[in-house]
Amino acid sequence: MLCGHTVTRCKRSIKEADSSVSIYSLSVLQVVGLEMKPIFPHRKRLVVLLIVGFALPVPLDPENTGFIAVENFTSLVEDHELQLDPSKLDMLLALVQSNEDGQVCYQELIELMSSKRSSSFRRAIANGRRTLQREILLDETGLGLYKRFVRYVAYEILPCETDRRWYFHQNRLCPPPVFIAIVTIVQIIVFMCYGIMLNKWVLQTYQPDFMKSPLVYHPGHRAQVWRFFSYMFMHVGLEQLGFNALLQLMIGVPLEMVHGILRISLLYMAGVLAGSLTVSITDMRAPVVGGSGGVYALCSAHLANVVMNWAGMRCPYKLLRMILALVCMSSEVGRAVWLRFSPPLPSSGPQPSFMAHLSGAVVGISMGLLILRSYEESLQKQCSWWVIVFSFITFLLFAIFWNIFAYELLGVQIPPPP
């Protein structure tokens, strides 16, 4: 049995296992005892065995080459009754095929078992898959309702069959995709409250009391920083809310299921913030309402990802759906442009700007596309990610200085805030 101190160190090493792990840099974990079943689940037990593999009675790599023969790995799995899910077995076979000698690199094995996949790991998988005949995920039978939905999401979002199988077998109900759902529910509740209060459900921005809301972004209230975000909960009317809610549920929820709440919430909120800041620079007298900045960030990122991986995407009627999505998004922008330049009522002031739609699309095509193309990859290790982050921070700093100094220097006549 492993001692408690060694188990703690093993667990720490497992948590930190990524593309930088070296089997030979972990000599402190040389362990002979192998009775780990009560302590580790199958996947983590296998990672421990790989880490301490050179101390086993039959060494996995007797010549210290950094590679393990497939026969040795198979014996390891069978001897210790380890169970691997089908997606990992597929990738293991692809890794074997990527090496002419039928061996697998220790580092790639640890990445596979610890679900940490670097760019080199993905390249090895891709090279190996070229020589393998794969059963596609659509051939899976006897699936329950939830698993069929997971398979549908995999084909809607992911362009690679290996990634689809990985997601299908690794997907868990917890944590659920709650971010988009919560945002949509709050938007509907806020709209219902103002609809009842104003007794108006379409073109609510024509009502002076609507613009008095502490959630609306108004250039006269720029010092109230929360308005640069909170405007996403207010909408012009039922027409804008219906469009945004439908799109962010149809596209945002599947994206959140695949890429996780952290990445999708970051993309959505970046689109929202970019929307209000862009309006404060390019349309300085206009207010902003609606979650279109975040919605267009999600939609444009997904559409750009589909276009760039057109051959690999297996979603049905993709051309027709692409055209329909572009028509709907263009129509919403057209509605926003018409509303912005329509003659306002004297009591309501300027109507909301449409620039949030466009800036959200820019965020989606840049930051969003990189996020969607980096499924299960670390963004922090990609140079292009830091270029995008630096560009966004530069834009953010410029917008802050613009809002502090430009209005007064340019003599912009801001409509009196309600």
Q: Dump the DSSP string for 209-278.
A: HHHT-TTSB-GGGTT-TTHHHHGGG--SSHHHHHHHHHHIIIIIHHHHHHH-HHHHHHHHHHHHHHHHHH
276 domain residue, yes or no: yes
Q: How many residues in the chain?
A: 418
Distance in angstroms (rounded) separating the CA atoms of residues 352 and 219: 11
Q: What Cα–Cα distance (Å) separates residue 328 from each residue in 210, 254, 299, 321?
A: 26, 19, 11, 10
Residue at 154 is within a domain: no
Extract the residue ranges of the chain whose pLDDT is less than 70.
1-68, 70-139, 344-348, 418
Q: Is residue 404 part of a domain?
A: yes
- Contact between 412 and 296 (Cβ < 8 Å): no
Tell me: do 128 and 200 sit in the same domain. no
**Quick one: DSSP state of residue 368?**
I
Let me know whether 37 and 98 are in one domain. Answer: yes
Provide the pLDDT for residue 342.
Answer: 83
Token pair recorded at residue 211: 């613009």
Residue 140 resides in a domain: no
Pair (185, 332) in one structural domain: yes
Residue 151 lies in a domain: no
Distance of CA 258 to CAs 173, 251, 255, 313, Å? Answer: 12, 11, 5, 15
Dist CA 97 CA 308 (whole Å) = 27
Check: CB of residue 97 under 8 Å from CB of residue 131. yes
SS3 assignment, position 105? strand
Count how many domains the chain has.
2
List the catalytic residue out of 292, 348, 359, 366.
Answer: 292
Percentage of residues in the chain with pLDDT exceeding 90?
46
| Residue 235 a catalytic site member | no
Q: Which of 235, 259, 302, 357 is catalytic?
A: 357
Look up the domain containing 46 and give its range: 4-134
* Same-domain check for residues 199 and 344: yes
**Is 174 within the bounds of a domain?**
no
Q: Are residues 218 and 123 in the same domain?
A: no
pLDDT of residue 377: 81
Report if residue 169 sits inside a domain. Answer: no
Same domain, 405 and 316: yes
CA atoms of 52 and 58, how far apart (whole Å): 12
pLDDT at 361: 97
Q: pLDDT tens for residues 273-289?
A: 999 999 999 999 999 99
* 342: number of Cβ within 10 Å: 11
Specify whether 125 is located in the same domain as 269: no
Same domain membership, residue 211 and residue 65: no
Q: What are 10-66's pLDDT values in tens digits?
A: 444 444 444 333 333 333 333 333 333 333 344 444 444 444 444 444 455 666 666
Task: Indicate whether 123 and 199 sit together in one domain.
Answer: no
Same domain, residue pair 15 and 85: yes
**Going by C-beta distance under 8 Å and a sequence separation of 6 or more, which residues neighbour residue 403?**
222, 277, 280
Q: Read off the CATH number of the domain in which 321 is found.
A: 1.20.1540.10
- Note whether residue 110 is domain-resident: yes
Asked if residues 268 and 253 have their Cβ atoms less than 8 Å apart, the reply is: no
Same domain as 248, residue 116:
no
* 292 part of the active site: yes
Residues 6+ apart with CB under 8 A from 70: 96, 102, 103, 104
Query: Which residues are paired to 67 by β-bridges?
Result: 105
Check whether residue 114 and residue 201 sit in a common domain: no
Residue type at 395? F
Are 382 and 370 within 8 A, CB to CB?
yes
Show contacts of 336-342: CB within 8 Å, 24+ apart: 336/240, 336/292, 339/203, 339/205, 339/236, 340/283, 340/286
Residue-wise burial string across 13-41, b where 16 or more C-beta atoms lie within 10 A, e elsewhere: bbeebbbebebeebeebebeebebeeebe
